[in-house]
Every structure is written in C-alpha cells, then in structure tokens.
Structure 1
Amino acid sequence: MRFNIQSKLLLSHLSAVSKVVNSKNKLSILDNFLFNLEGDKLVITGSDQETTLTTNVQVQNPEGSGKFAANVKKLLDLLKQLPDLALTFDVNDENLEINITYLHGKFNFIGVNGNEFPVKAASEEEPKHLTLPCKTVVEGIQQTIFAVGVEEMRPVMMGIFWDIKPDEIVFVASDTHKLVRYRKLNIQTGHELSFILPTKPAAILSSILEKKDGDVNITVDSKSATFETADYTLTCRFVNGRYPNYNSVIPTTNQYNVSIDRVQLLNALRRVSVFTSSSGLVKLEMRPDEVLMSTQDIDYSTSAEERIVCDYNGVEMAIGFNDENIIDVLNNIDAENISVQLIDPTRAGLFLPVEQKENEELLVLLMPMML
C-alpha cells in the first residue's frame, strides 16, 4: 500500500480527529488512528468507543488499498515538526511496517492491524433523518454548552438537550445552578424527537461545523446520532436518561424588570468579585435607576462596592448571586443591553437580551444565594 500526501493537509485532518481520542484508553487500539485507503481517498478514523470521528482526504499516486492503524501521539508529534512538504507513505501489508519518506529524510515504525479497530454495530431500528444548517447547530451548541453540568452523580445534566419539534429546535443545558434555553424558531425539521448530546462530542461538532457553510445531515436512532458533512462524519452515543422538564422551572410571572448595559455590569462584577469571600457571594441592590453591587470577606476584612446606572422603577430589592456564575452568564449573552427579570430574592432570576435576534429566543435562569 502506497500513497502521497502533503504534510500540512494531513496534519489538519489528524488534529481534528485527535480531539476524539482519550489520553488513556481501555482498549490499546484506540491509541491509534485508523487509516483506510480506498482508491485515491484516505479515510481517517479516531474513537473513544462512545464517540467516533471520521474524515476523508484525497491522496496522490495511490497504489493498493487496505487498512492500518498508527499511533496518535507519534504521528502528531512528527507532523508538527515538519514544514509543508510532500510525504510518501509506504505500508507493508504483511508486517505493517510503515515507511514515511520526504525530501531530506524518512521515518520508520510498525503499525497495528486495522481490523482490530472497533466498529459500530448496525442499528436494527429505522433511523430518522433531518438536515439542518451548520450555523443553526453551531449556535445552539455555543449558546448552551457553558451551562452543562459536570457532576457525574447527575449524568443527564452532562450534555445538551435537543428538543426537536416540526417547526423549531430548543437547545437546553443546566448544571442545576444555572439553566440556558435557546430556541431556534421558524426552522422546518419534519420530526418530533429529543436526545441528550454529551459535552465532548458537542464541542467537537461545534469546532468542525463553525468552519463550514451549508447543511449537516443528521441521522438519529434511539441510542446515537450521526452528523455528516462532505468531509467529516461524527457518530456519538446519547447520555442515557430522561431530561427534566426544563419549562417547569422557568418563572413566567416576573414582577420586576431591570434593563442594564451588559458590558458595564460584567466589568463591574469582575472588579468587585476580587474581594468576595470563599462562598463567592455578590450582592446586587436594585434601586431606582441604579444597581449597587457589593462584596465582602469578613475573614480578611476586605470589601468592595460599585454602582452603575440602569432602567428600574420597581421596589428596592437586594438579591445575591455567585460571582462566577453570574459572570459566566453575562459572558455568554451576545447583546448590548440585557433584561434581568426578578420576583423576589429567594427565586431564580432570568437574564435575556433586551432585543432578541430574528427567529431566536435566548433565556438564562440563575439561582440566587442566601444573603
């Protein structure tokens, strides 16, 4: 088996596929890339058993066909040190000896039998197919992934919930302290289904699709989904479990509304949070036309406060939030001005843009802290 390929082209595809591969694997074969030469197309696969990413790249002067596997770290370390030049891969089909030659040198090492690489079992059920714009999928993931839970005791929260309806898609994520709901309206899916996409494949999918125009083809069964573009195919298993009823925890009768400049509020919170205690409590006092933010650490006799103007005509109210959580929320709302909707200091606050983008609806819920 023999083929030629440019080093930088190969590196770009291997770097993308390597994001799937874990640093430590239960199966030693998963420490490798799987290469499958089919005519002038080289198919490269990486997997951690739960998620599999495949890409294809065109090669020159192919001879023969077949599979072989090569170590992920070894190949990446090698290619990162090479300038952009032509490489010739020559693989001995019998002993899997791999020779890589280029203008001024060569490398030699032993590969692994590609037939040892795990293959996904075919689904016996009839899958559902839908096509979505790449931009829609990327926005849904990027607007919600920051709120995904990390506690293994709550596995259903460790992913993004996709609630697909015939004329809209709702992306939801929560770590129980904050919840984000992003609705993409006026989009025809032709299906009604839902699943929980784990954080790792969601991040990989977003990094691939944000560089793409056009659509992504999605195939969904009861246990997994496959996302396919012209040169990448990502297959991943869902998080098992039933996602909580997210709409039931979102207040619908908020009495008080604060309109405020997002960047001013974010920068002020960053400054006063320097002096928070270990609990991270920051106190927000809503007053007519201003918000007073304050923090203190009694153990070290430090405190800070800052006030900024806002549009608020309700009763004076004080509410506490965790500094990291509220800064995280404000960092991930792409709007000049935001609306903070409140009921009382013991109930969750809602953060949303004053002006929503066309055919979009973004809402972030943040639980308060006791003052």
Structure 2
Amino acid sequence: MRFTLSSTALSSKLVALSRVINSKNALPILGDFLFEIENNVLHLTASDSENVMKTQLELTESDGNFRFAIGNHDLLEAVKGFSEQPITFDVDLEQNLVKITYQNGLFSLPVDNADEFPVAQPVSDFAKSIVLPNAILAENINRSIFATAQDELRPVMNGIYFDLTPDHLAVVASDGHKLVRNKIFTIKSEEPSAFILPKKPANLLKNLLGKDGGDVTIRFDERNAEVNYGDGVLLCRLIEGRYPNYNSVIPQNNPNEVRLDRLSLLAALRRVQPFANDSSNLVRFHVEGSTFQLDAEDYDFSKTATERMTCEYNGTPMSIGFKGNAFIEILGNIECSDVIIQLADSSRAGLVLPSEQPENQEVVMLMMPMLIND
C-alpha cells in the first residue's frame, strides 16, 4: 500500500499535532500518530487520551484505503528537515513496516496496529454550540490564559471559563489573586450556557489559531467539547464543576482613577520588582497629584528601589500594595498605549483597563491588593 504527498505539508501538520502528545504515556500507542488514508485524503490524529487533535491533507496519489499508527518522535525528526519535495510511504501491514522514500534516499520505521488507537468520545447530539471568529477566539485565549491557576484543590480555576449569556459571551480566567474578564458583545444566546476549557487545549488552540479569517465552531456538552477550526478538529474533556461568581468580586465603583503610559509603567515595574522581597513580591503603588511612585524593599538583604513617573490623576492621595510579578503579567497582556487603574482604597481590589477597548468587546483585569505597612 502506497501514498505520496508534500513533505512540507506533512511536516507542518505533524508539528502541530505533536503538541498534544505527552512525553510519557500510560498507553504506548498514545506516543503515535494515527494515519488513515481514505479516498485520496490523509486523516491524521494525535491524542493524550483526554485531548484529541485531528487534521487532514490531500494526497498526490494513493492506491487504496488503509490505516496504521507510527511513533511520533522518529517520524518528526526525519521529515521536519526536508525541503519541499514529494515523499512516498510504502506500507507493509503484514511486516509492520513503512518505507519512506524521498529525493535523495529512504528510511524505514516500524508501524503499529491502528485498531489499538483509542477512539475519541464525541460530544452528545444535544450539544450546544458557539460560533465566533478565529481571531477573536485567539486573542481572548491569549489575553486570559496567564491568569489561570494551578490548583489541585480547586480544579475549576485551572481553566478558562466561557459563559454565554443573553447579553454577551464572557471569557474569564482567575487564580484567586488576579482575574481577567473579557466580554464579547457580538456573541450571545437567549439560552445561557457555560463550560470550562482546561489549560492544555487552550494552549493548543492558542498556537493553532491565527489572525486569518474564518469562524471557529465550539460544540460542547457537560463533559466534552469539539472545536472545529479551519481544516482541523480538537476534541477535549472539559473541567467539571461550578465556576465561582466572578462578577461578584469585580468592584462596581472604584472612584480613584489613574491613567499611565502602559509601556513606561511596565518598564518601571520590571526595574523595581527585583528589589521586592522574594516571598511576598510586594510592590507599593503611591499616587498623589500627577506623580505615580513605585517602591520595593527587601530589608533582609538591604535592598530598596523607588521610581517615579508622571500620570493623570484627580483622586485623593493613596497607597496600595500589589504583587509585582502578577502586575507585570497583566500589563503584558494588554495591547493599548495607555492603561487606566481604578482604585477605591488600600484594602479593595484594583481594576486595570485598556484606555481603548477592542471593538465590540470589554476587557477588565483585576488585582487583589496586599497588606502594606504605612
């Protein structure tokens, strides 16, 4: 049995699929790619048992319909260095061997029985669905994933929460100290529904989705989701459980508003934060008039740092403490030139907003304060 295809097309597909595969697997077959040739189309699958990614590509030629599995590492190493050229697979299922021929040589690899490859559990016929532009989903995952937790006791916090309401789709992530809430007003449903996407499939989508056009369709039930994008499909198991009421922790009235240049604040924080105590990472923010001051100190090692910058502020003078490295992450995931920080007092959460919201969206980021000694 034989088929021929483009080397670079195969390589790009295998590199994308390989991100699903774990370095260690309970089942040896999960270290393989599944090849299925049907009607001159190659269907490729990779899985870690909880996440399954599928894609396909047209073959130059093939002599039938058949399927086999092949180890990911050796095949990837072999084909990823090829320049654009046709490569031919000669598969002998009786000998469990494939011979791969290219312009300047050939190599052979063992193949495994495709029947051993686990079958993905599909979403139910009663699944709900969301359709949204490729670029919108990509930017919302990029903007949110840094705020997810790594918490064994509260697994619902370890993913991105998609909350579909009659007014909007909210994409939310939080680790209990920082929170990101994105509202997309062009996507809504009279019938509310929600799901929690785990961090691994979110990262896979982050790498797969681009700025190109087209829509992504997400079908989901209580346990599983199916994400259809371009020429690929990602099937994943969802995180089960009830997500916390994220709206209840977002302050509705933080009257003190300071506006700063985002990149200048980010650079200043990166200079000051290394001087903070390693365990607390506390950086003190003090704002008064048109002066914004950052202070960090670690008296155990006799280290202190202070930096001032100009700002726009009409509120009362105040000081508040934030975890420096977390605030750096927040600023790094906002794209506009200026940021607005809304504060109430030193004991209540601060909000960070872009000065210009994305079209038909609303982005809010929240930071819980830390105790400071005046």
- So what's the TM-score if we normalise by structure 1? 0.96
Q: Aligned ranges for residues 84-99 of structure 1 at < 5 Å? A: 84-99=84-99
SS at match of 1:49: coil
RMSD between superposed Cα atoms in Å: 1.5
Report the equivalent of 1:349: 350
CA distance in 1, matches of 2:359, 2:105: 56
CA distance in 2, matches of 1:251, 1:35: 52
Q: Bigger shift: 341-350 or 206-215?
A: 206-215
Matched residue count = 371
Q: Residue type matched to 2:9 in 1?
A: L
CA distance in 2, matches of 1:342, 1:197: 31
Report the equivalent of 1:363: 364
CA distance in 1, matches of 2:102, 2:174: 50
Q: Unaligned stretches of 5+ in structure 1?
A: none
CA distance in 1, matches of 2:368, 2:162: 23
Report the equivalent of 1:38: 38
2:123–2:224 contact (8 Å) kept in structure 1: no
| Cα distance change of structure 1 residues 190 and 36 upon mapping to structure 2, 3 Å threshold | farther
Offset of residue 255 of structure 1 = 2.4
- CA offset digits 1:331-369 (Å, max 9, x no partner): 111111111111111111100012222211000010111
Q: Aligned ranges for residues 68-217 of structure 1 at < 5 Å? A: 68-123=68-123, 125-188=125-188, 191-210=191-210, 212-217=212-217
Q: Bigger shift: 132-141 or 280-289?
A: 132-141
Report the equivalent of 2:266: 266
Offset of residue 125 of structure 1 = 4.8
CA distance in 2, matches of 1:312, 1:304: 23
Report the equivalent of 1:324: 325
| Cα distance change of structure 1 residues 99 and 190 upon mapping to structure 2, 3 Å threshold | farther
Offset of residue 104 of structure 1 = 1.9
Q: Bigger shift: 203-212 or 307-316?
A: 203-212
Structure 1 outlier segments of 4+, above 4 Å: 122-125, 188-191
SS at match of 1:242: coil
Q: Bigger shift: 128-137 or 267-276?
A: 128-137
1:350–1:366 contact (8 Å) kept in structure 2: yes
2:20–2:48 contact (8 Å) kept in structure 1: yes
CA distance in 2, matches of 1:166, 1:92: 56
CA distance in 1, matches of 2:167, 2:255: 31
- So what's the TM-score if we normalise by structure 2? 0.95
Report the equivalent of 1:23: 23
CA distance in 2, matches of 1:358, 1:54: 32
2:134–2:229 contact (8 Å) kept in structure 1: no
Offset of residue 185 of structure 1 = 0.9
Report the equivalent of 2:302: 301
CA distance in 1, matches of 2:156, 2:58: 39
Q: Unaligned stretches of 5+ in structure 2?
A: none
CA distance in 1, matches of 2:234, 2:88: 28
CA distance in 2, matches of 1:27, 1:194: 32
Offset of residue 202 of structure 1 = 0.9
